[in-house]
């Protein structure tokens, strides 16, 4: 039984028809992906399905009592959401029906009417709808979508546009409508949040209609595809990969049928002419009738889609020179912002990298959570930001090309053609010919830059990037706002390019198709991973962390710091990148054992004199600090162990993996604190 049905839906803007007599239906439990090129009408269809817009022709039938929620591509949040005192309250208000039921239950209890049948019925409904686990689900949604404890306490008005969109998505998750409509929900999500929302959408019982260009996301969340093509909907069964295979087969079959049909028409025309010349009119009329039937048949070759074509040769000058074998190398690099670049007036260290290197022809993906420092690292390599410390060196003959994630605002009145001709001394004809490769044809070339859509702006930046030759390409989210066809064109270009490539991206299919190695940024550290994106995710599931990789790299570069095996009192860093509750435990342990632990690790037979005893005040201060850490870490360990036994956590693979990983961190830190306590006791007064 369908919960929403579109019948003959048509939508026009002026004389342009966006949707033409669409017929489609959504059943309970359907998970549908809506695909098509930019401008095909996906957002328009979602708004019509949600009731925000009305069709010019046709009808939209919704099941009585149907609840639905929509996440717009650029969220227009309602006043109640923005007026909430903090993000957590705003997200919790998504379950307003549960809050009303809780108030009714409280009223029953205040009035002493708990024995009434209405109370038991209401309590049962409240439990079935998840009222008693609401706070747990709110916290899980906020954590899963990447909100920190500080961000959760901020008002929605204090969030960026991307953060507001993530909060709106969390609110929809909590609201749990019968039909969830999502328009490009992955635009502001990092890899961890993507995996969390995918797992949630797979488990939810309601229906889903999602418009997205993220192929991995569609594969993970959908079981049916609606393709918007030539203003009509075609339905395909299966996920995106299945749809892609079916579409290619249909297009190939349609092209073959069109060729056969055309050949048949040409053959009938030839026979008509032959019989006319031989004055065999009965045969001629017979073939004329056949020709009419063939011409009446609706057999057309599929229209060739306009595809992005990235030229390997630059617009100006010859191809890029061959660089040295080592293209870029960073040693003990510290990236961040100097006081002059920050409003606070203080230096901000974002991330440190013991050693990173890219050789000629390497294709390196830079991955990590939002805000970890990926863009800061790329901007530092590009020369936009100065290194705060360490060494950053480039090889011989390196020619650098940089595509920034945040593009400068367009000059009012400047067109796409103007932007290219200002950047390159070429004629208007040469500029138009070059821009056509990036789908700026005809009037599109004279659009104002400030009025371009996100996808059009991305294509323009790619065009500007290709003006001069480059053998080192630094790309920050190059697929943002691009449709699937454009993404595949970029993938093909980068796979064939001889340039060395460093690319920041959250597009998992793009990373898997293009990148052979990764630089992983997390918790203020950067480590190299020798393998593909999929191999990295498998390694993470097996316990690989940035912190452990950084420590191994540090010991490789400084073997003299490697502790001898079997020595007591040495400090082993945690094998995970999680930040512990107050983030300062390691500093206090190191302060307490900077020299004591090292000496304790040396065999007494070596003859090294023991360190002097501490004063009573120094001993007491250090002992109190370590005791506090032991108490706090012990409580945290107990809390995490209890959480692993929670059925809700056990049924959520992503949450269980996060908790077990943090538990391993806490246990390692607890062992380090105990070692520090033993080392300190040797210096007791």
pLDDT band at residue 163 using 50, 70 and 90 as cut-offs: confident
Q: Give the end-to-end CA distance of the chain in Å, rounded to a whole number.
A: 80
**d(C-alpha 166, C-alpha 441), whole Å:** 36
Q: Is the pLDDT of residue 55 over 60?
A: yes
State pLDDT tens for residues 508-530: 999 999 999 999 999 899 999 99
Contacts within 8 Å (CB) and 24+ apart, 334-341: 334/387, 334/388, 334/389, 334/390, 335/373, 335/376, 335/377, 335/380, 335/385, 335/387, 335/388, 336/373, 336/376, 336/385, 336/388, 337/376, 337/385, 338/386, 338/388, 341/385
Q: Is the pLDDT of residue 34 over 90?
A: yes
Q: What are phi and psi of 427, to 5 degrees?
A: -80, 165
pLDDT value of residue 211: 93
- Quote the percentage of the chain above a pLDDT of 70: 86
pLDDT value of residue 585: 39
pLDDT band at residue 342 using 50, 70 and 90 as cut-offs: low
Q: Which residues contact 555 (CB under 8 A, 6 or more apart)?
A: 561, 562
Mean pLDDT confidence for 323-329:
89
Q: Is residue 318 exposed (0-12), middle (13-18) or buried (19+ Cβ within 10 Å)? A: exposed
Give the least confident one: 219-223, 234-238, 338-342, 595-599. Answer: 595-599
For residues 354 and 553, is the Cβ–Cβ distance under 8 A? yes
For residues 596 and 611, is the Cβ–Cβ distance under 8 A? yes
- Quote the percentage of the chain above a pLDDT of 90: 28
pLDDT value of residue 37: 85
pLDDT value of residue 374: 92
**d(C-alpha 34, C-alpha 411), whole Å:** 35
Give the least confident one: 81-90, 188-197, 377-386, 649-658. Answer: 649-658
In terms of average pLDDT, the best of 161-165, 175-179, 624-628 is 175-179
Distance (Å) of CA 279 to CA 267, 272, 418: 18, 10, 64
Which position has the token pair 């400030």? Answer: 450
Q: What are phi and psi of 4, to 5 degrees?
A: -150, 135
Reading the block at residue 34, the tokens are 């809506």
pLDDT band at residue 562 using 50, 70 and 90 as cut-offs: low
pLDDT value of residue 586: 42
Mean pLDDT confidence for 19-23:
91
Distance (Å) of CA 663 to CA 278, 578, 601: 93, 10, 27
pLDDT value of residue 411: 59
Q: Is the pLDDT of residue 665 over 90?
A: no
Give the least confident one: 131-145, 444-458, 476-490. Answer: 444-458
In terms of average pLDDT, the best of 73-77, 95-99, 215-219, 556-560 is 215-219
pLDDT band at residue 376 using 50, 70 and 90 as cut-offs: very high
pLDDT value of residue 118: 87
Reading the block at residue 488, the tokens are 């595949």
Mean pLDDT value across the chain: 82
Strand order in the sheet with 400-403: 389-394, 326-337, 348-359, 525-529, 517-522, 363-367, 500-504, 472-476, 400-403
pLDDT value of residue 221: 94
In terms of average pLDDT, the best of 65-74, 156-165, 170-179, 290-299 is 170-179
pLDDT band at residue 610 using 50, 70 and 90 as cut-offs: low
Enter the pTM of the model: 0.71
State pLDDT tens for residues 564-588: 544 433 333 333 333 333 443 344 3
Nearest Cα to Cα of residue 32 among 74, 3, 65, 66 = 3
pLDDT value of residue 578: 35
Mean pLDDT confidence for 373-394:
91
**d(C-alpha 9, C-alpha 20), whole Å:** 7
Reading the block at residue 84, the tokens are 């909430």
Alpha helices, H only, 532-652: 533-541, 546-557, 585-593, 596-600, 616-644, 647-650
How many C-beta neighbours within 10 Å does residue 495 have? Answer: 11
């Amino acid at each position: 039984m369908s919960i929403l049905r579109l019948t003959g839906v048509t939508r026009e803007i002026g004389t342009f028809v966006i949707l033409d007599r669409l017929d489609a239906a959504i059943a309970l439990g359907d998970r549908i992906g809506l695909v098509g090129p930019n401008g095909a009408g996906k957002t328009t269809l979602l708004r019509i399905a949600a009731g925000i817009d009305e069709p010019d022709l046709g009808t939209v039938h919704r099941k009585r009592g149907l609840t639905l929620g929509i996440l717009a591509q650029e969220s227009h949040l309602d006043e109640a959401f923005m007026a909430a005192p903090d993000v957590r309250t705003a997200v919790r208000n998504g379950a307003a029906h549960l809050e009303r039921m809780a108030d009714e239950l409280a009223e029953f209890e205040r009035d002493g009417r708990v024995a009434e049948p209405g109370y038991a019925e209401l309590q049962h409904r409240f439990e079935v709808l998840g009222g008693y686990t609401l706070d747990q689900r709110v916290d899980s949604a906020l954590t899963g979508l990447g909100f920190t404890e500080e961000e959760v306490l901020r008002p929605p008005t204090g969030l960026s546009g991307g953060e507001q969109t993530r909060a709106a998505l969390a609110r929809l998750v909590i609201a749990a409508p019968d039909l969830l409509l999502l328009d490009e929900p992955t635009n502001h999500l990092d890899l961890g949040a993507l995996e969390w929302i995918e797992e949630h959408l797979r488990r939810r019982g309601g229906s889903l209609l999602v418009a997205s260009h993220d192929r991995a996301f569609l594969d993970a969340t959908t079981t049916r595809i609606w393709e918007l093509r030539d203003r009509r909907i075609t339905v395909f069964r299966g996920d995106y990969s299945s749809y892609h295979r079916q579409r290619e087969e249909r297009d190939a079959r349609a092209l073959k049928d069109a060729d056969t049909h055309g050949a048949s028409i040409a053959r009938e025309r030839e026979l008509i002419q032959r019989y006319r010349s031989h004055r065999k009119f009965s045969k001629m009329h017979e073939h004329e009738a056949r020709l009419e039937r063939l011409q009446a048949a609706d057999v057309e070759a599929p229209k060739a889609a306009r595809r992005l074509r990235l030229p390997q040769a630059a617009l100006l000058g010859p191809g890029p020179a061959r660089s040295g074998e080592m293209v870029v190398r960073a040693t003990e690099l510290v990236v961040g912002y100097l006081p002059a670049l920050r409003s606070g007036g203080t230096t901000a260290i974002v991330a440190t990298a013991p050693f990173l290197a890219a050789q000629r022809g390497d294709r390196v993906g830079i991955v990590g959570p939002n805000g970890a420092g990926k863009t800061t690292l790329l901007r530092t390599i590009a020369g936009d930001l100065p290194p705060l410390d360490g060494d950053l060196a480039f090889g011989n003959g390196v020619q650098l090309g940089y595509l920034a994630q945040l593009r400068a605002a367009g000059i009012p009145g400047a067109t796409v053609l103007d932007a290219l001709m200002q950047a390159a001394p070429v004629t208007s004809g040469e500029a138009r010919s070059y821009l056509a490769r990036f789908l700026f044809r005809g009037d599109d070339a004279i659009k104002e830059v400030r009025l371009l859509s996100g996808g059009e702006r991305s294509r323009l930046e790619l065009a500007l990037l290709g003006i001069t030759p480059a053998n080192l390409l630094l790309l920050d989210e190059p697929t943002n706002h691009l449709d699937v066809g454009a993404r595949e064109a970029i993938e093909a270009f980068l796979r064939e390019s001889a340039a060395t490539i460093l690319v920041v991206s959250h597009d998992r299919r793009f990373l898997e198709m293009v990148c052979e190695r990764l630089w992983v940024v997390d918790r203020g550290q950067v480590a190299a991973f020798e393998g593909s994106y999929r191999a990295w995710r498998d390694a993470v599931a097996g316990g690989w962390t940035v912190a452990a990789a950084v420590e191994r790299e540090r010991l490789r570069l400084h073997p003299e710091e490697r502790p001898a095996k079997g020595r007591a009192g040495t400090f082993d860093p945690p094998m995970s990148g999680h930040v512990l509750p107050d983030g300062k435990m390691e500093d206090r342990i190191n302060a307490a054992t900077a020299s004591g632990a090292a000496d304790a690790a040396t065999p007494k037979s070596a003859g090294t004199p023991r360190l002097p005893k501490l004063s009573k005040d120094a001993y007491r201060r250090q002992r109190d600090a370590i005791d506090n850490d032991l108490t706090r870490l012990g409580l945290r360990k107990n809390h995490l162990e209890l959480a692993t036994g929670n059925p809700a956590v056990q049924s959520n693979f992503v949450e269980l993996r996060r908790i077990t990983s943090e538990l391993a961190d806490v246990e390692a830190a607890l062992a380090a604190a105990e070692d520090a306590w033993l080392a300190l006791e040797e210096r007791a007064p």
